[in-house]
Amino acid sequence: MAQGEPVLCYRIIPVTAFHQNCSLLWCDQSMDAVLIDAGGDVARLREQVEDLGLKLTAIWLTHGHLDHAGGAQDLREQLGLPVIGPARADDFWLAGIEQQSRTYGLAGMRNVVPDRWLDDGDSVQVGVERLTVISAPGHTPGHVVFYHAKQQLAWVGDVIFAGSIGRTDFPKGDHDTLIASITQKLWPLGDAVNFIPGHGPESTFGVERRTNPFVADAKFG
């Protein structure tokens, strides 16, 4: 990037008992910000936004599981923010957050209906920075990834992790579909792409192609 160009910045904020990586993204030119996967701990998320002097403009969701979406409705009501994503195929998950939370003994998580559903190839914006939406089903049917080409960053939710991949034993999960999402949709973005998963540390697609026992290139060679 040329000197003086706007930059997309981010901070990872673990939330909920599942230690889910909620990401606070902002454009350093406008200081507009979004939260990706606001699963809970809403007061803490708001404090982080205020501490950085940011203007929160939206909530983006990669998929409908409670640890990724359980705080979205409270934030929308408190701050008047739109909820964007995931794809419509995850509507049953978002409509069942409260039931999910009772199953796990968690309080304060609420069902949510997005203001905008996302499709493959859509774009979303924070400040002057645009990210591409990539459909990546398998963990859930409506899972999406947010990709910032200029800085080679991807927010992948629960599609892939450092050394692992997302579970597919939930309703409408599918292992073969997940593997195809990773190898056919994510790998072509390039080995240098740094990804922020829904849980655990960051990694790159190149490292996972070499070492991840579930999707390493050698597994399919």
Q: What is the pLDDT of residues 59-70, one digit of tens each?
A: 999 999 999 999
If one counts the domains in the chain, the total is: 1
* Start-to-end Cα distance in the chain: 36
- Find the domain containing 14 and state its range: 8-220
Predicted structure pTM score: 0.96
In a domain, 131, yes or no: yes
**Is there a domain that residue 117 lies in?**
yes
**Residue pLDDT, tens place only, 15-51:** 999 999 999 999 999 999 999 999 999 999 999 999 9
Residue 135 lies in a domain: yes
Phi, psi of 142 (to 5 degrees): -110, 20
3-state secondary structure 116-145: ECCCCCCEEEECCEEEEEEECCCCCCCCEE
Q: What is the CATH number of the domain that holds 21?
A: 3.60.15.10
Within-domain flag for 105: yes
The answer to whether residue 2 sits within a structural domain is no
Instruction: Note whether residue 61 is domain-resident.
Output: yes
